[in-house]
């Protein structure tokens, strides 16, 4: 059985400690200073799609230090410490930091690529609605109602019945378009936050290097790392492909981080086998 038994082990190595501190500082600032001064840290530091006016290049990095709520940051930081501390003890600070950042960037890029495809489809459909409404076509109302249904946008049932009966009412159609426009703008400006992509890279590396090491779920259920890793990634791929409505988890970022982490550790393992176990 393959187990991790280092000769010297730091419970809280340098990079892990500093990553925890930075993430906690960002989280506290978001919940205190940003609120105090009515400043949106998410607009500036969270990751936005390329089509959003809020997108900035540095968000590819800074989104890794932003988190939604206490459960989100705790889960990520606990996993980072649990698996990352072992890798940093094994590789050293510089190599682990390089690995972590590359995994986070890879996760962000795959997430943006998939998101861009989805946003393009939404943008084309929305542009078609605007064009039909501007030209005064009677089919505009039906198209807008179909758009609302496809995107699970809740509309007043009475308003739907009225619009279907009066498709030539431009004022009512304009009000409906305003609702759909608000949804569209909110969607393309939705931020992505969290270190999950980078953490999935860390998990993938741990599973590859120590597949038979036992991990204790809920602190008392022993499961080998390889089975936990396979189940977790299969779970993410299933729900990413399913693309369920209301699922606000960036699953492609998780998958991207895991794939990048796995590719890096396989490459390093081939070039420097003495470094790995």
Q: Nearest-CA neighbor of 46 among 162, 185, 171, 191?
A: 191
- Indicate if 174 and 201 belong to the same structural domain: no
- Indicate if 97 and 213 belong to the same structural domain: yes
What's residue 214's pLDDT?
A: 83
Residue 202 domain flag: yes
Computed over its alpha carbons, how large is the radius of gyration of the chain? 23
Rounded to an integer, what distance in angstroms lies between the CA atom of residue 81 and that of residue 202?
10
Residue where a domain terminates, one of 144, 164, 188 = 188
Residue 252 domain flag: yes
Rounded to an integer, what distance in angstroms lies between the CA atom of residue 15 and that of residue 19?
6
- Indicate if 200 and 90 belong to the same structural domain: yes
pLDDT in tens, 235-269: 888 878 876 545 567 888 899 999 999 999 999 88
Residue where a domain terminates, one of 188, 205, 221 = 188
- Indicate if 130 and 177 belong to the same structural domain: yes
CA atoms within 13 A on the CB side of 206: 28
Q: What is the domain range of residue 246?
A: 14-28+69-117+193-275
What's residue 202's pLDDT?
A: 96
Residues of the chain with pLDDT under 70: 1-8, 218-219, 243-248, 271-277
240 pairs with which residues across the strands?
A: none
- Indicate if 85 and 145 belong to the same structural domain: no
């Amino acid at each position: 059985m393959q187990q991790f038994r280092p000769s010297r082990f730091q419970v809280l190595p340098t990079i892990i400690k500093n990553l925890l501190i930075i993430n906690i500082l960002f989280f506290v600032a978001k919940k205190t200073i940003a609120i105090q001064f009515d400043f949106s840290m998410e607009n500036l530091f969270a990751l936005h799609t390329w089509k959003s006016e809020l997108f900035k290049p540095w968000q590819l990095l800074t989104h890794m230090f932003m988190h939604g709520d206490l459960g989100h940051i705790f889960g990520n930081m606990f996993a980072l410490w649990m698996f990352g501390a072992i890798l940093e003890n094994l590789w050293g600070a510089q190599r682990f930091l390089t690995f972590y950042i590359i995994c986070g960037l890879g996760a962000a890029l795959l997430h943006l690529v998939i998101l861009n495809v989805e946003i393009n489809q939404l943008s084309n459909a929305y542009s078609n609605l605007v064009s039909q409404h501007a030209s005064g076509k009677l089919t505009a109302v039906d198209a807008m109602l179909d758009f609302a249904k496809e995107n699970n946008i809740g509309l007043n049932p009475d308003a739907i019945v009225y619009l279907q009966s009066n498709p030539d009412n431009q004022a009512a159609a304009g009000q409906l378009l305003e609702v759909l426009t608000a949804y569209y703008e909110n969607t393309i400006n939705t931020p992505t936050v969290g270190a999950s992509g980078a953490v999935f890279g860390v998990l993938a590396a741990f599973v590859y290097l120590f597949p038979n090491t036992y991990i204790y779920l809920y602190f008392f259920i022993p499961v080998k790392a390889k089975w936990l890793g396979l189940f977790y990634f299969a779970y993410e791929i299933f729900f990413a492909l399913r693309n369920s409505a209301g699922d606000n988890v960036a699953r492609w970022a998780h998958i991207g981080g895991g794939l990048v982490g796995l590719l890096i550790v396989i490459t390093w393992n081939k070039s420097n086998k003495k470094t790995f176990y």
